Structure 1
Amino acid sequence: MSLQQTIDQDIKSAMLSKDSARLRGLRAIKAALLLAKTEKGAEEGITEEMEVKVLQKLVKQRKESADIYQAQNRPDLYQIENEELQVIEAYLPQQMDREAIISHIKDAIARTGAASMKDMGKVMGIVNKELSGKADGKTISEVVKELLG
């Protein structure tokens, strides 16, 4: 079953159970997937990799909004963003922990022969491709800076 079909089924069950927080998150996912499907250059459907990218984008948006609401002392809006964030994250592949990311990046540094921050672009290019959907880009960037710095 594709992600789109899973989301449709989960929307129905959220409507039946009157779970408004889950329903908001699921509708956000459905809208983003439909938008990605109709974008210029999109083929008949979207690939699994594109679905993961859409979900990651939604997660990033929710985290940024939640941080802003927390800084502005708006707990009501912060809670809404956080609820949607949890729903969206449930559909992402299992994220790697920091230790696994560090070991993977150390391996990539050894393979590329990177020695300083000048080589960060080489390492980031390789690691971002290999860990796409499994780790957050911000975390990857932080770890690469730590290891090369």
Structure 2
Amino acid sequence: MIRDDIKAATITAMKAREKDRTATLRQISAKIKDRDIEERTSGKDIPDDELVTSVLQKMAKQRRESIEMYEAGGREELAAKEKDELSVIEEFLPQMMSEEETRAAIEAIKTETGASSMKDMGAVMGELKKRHGAVLDGKLASGMVKTALS
């Protein structure tokens, strides 16, 4: 389980006295605990690895956006810190689908659902997320679905 891998990595980083890595791993654990509490109150039952992966994906997306903004603002030292955090987060994410795999999945869903126009984008994206949510790059997929349906 990914959660166990994160705990083991935290212990290893603490023993190696890697302050930045330890801080990032603790951040990840805190976000996961927050999400656990949310899920308990919502009554939904999500498999553990799926929950952890969604938390990691959200954190990675936030880091990528921050890196973009910091670089645009000329704040390279802050961008470097975010890049370091992003690399730690990405260690625990499953391998994302390639462009070719994403394109093939979109075509398969498009054929199955009979999608032919932009009106069908929501249905195609919904099915794509349902089938491949944990390993799907949403931003990439969205652009590819738009292209395929236009």
**TM-score, normalised to structure 1's length?**
0.91
Q: 1:51 to 1:42 in 2, by over 3 A?
A: farther
Q: Is the 8 A contact 2:54 2:134 kept in 1?
A: yes
**Which amino acid is the alignment partner of residue 106 of structure 1?**
E
Give the stretch that moved more between structures: 32-41 or 61-70: 32-41
Give the stretch that moved more between structures: 34-43 or 102-111: 34-43
Other-structure match for 2:11: 12
Other-structure match for 1:89: 90
Other-structure match for 1:41: 42
1:19, 1:86 → 2: CA distance? 14
Secondary structure of the corresponding residue to residue 133 of structure 2: coil
Q: Is the 8 A contact 1:36 1:54 kept in 2?
A: yes
Q: 1:124 to 1:43 in 2, by over 3 A?
A: closer
1:57 and 2:58 equivalent?
yes
**Which amino acid is the alignment partner of residue 130 of structure 1?**
R
Report the Cα offset of residue 19 of structure 1: 2.3
1:79, 1:20 → 2: CA distance? 15
**Which amino acid is the alignment partner of residue 110 of structure 1?**
T
Other-structure match for 2:149: 148
Number of aligned pairs?
Answer: 148
2:46, 2:104 → 1: CA distance? 35
Structure 2 unaligned runs (5+)? Answer: none
Q: Tell me which protein shows more helix as a share of its residues.
A: 2
Partner deviation per Cα, 1:98-146 (whole Å, 9 max, x = no partner)? 1110011011101111111111111111111111111111111011001
Other-structure match for 1:130: 131
Secondary structure of the corresponding residue to residue 105 of structure 2: helix
**TM-score, normalised to structure 2's length?**
0.90
Report the Cα offset of residue 31 of structure 1: 0.9
**Which amino acid is the alignment partner of residue 89 of structure 2?**
I
2:5, 2:54 → 1: CA distance? 17
2:148, 2:100 → 1: CA distance? 13
- Same amino acid, percent of matched pairs: 37
Q: Is the 8 A contact 2:24 2:85 kept in 1?
A: yes
Q: Say what the alpha-carbon RMSD is for the aligned residues.
A: 1.8
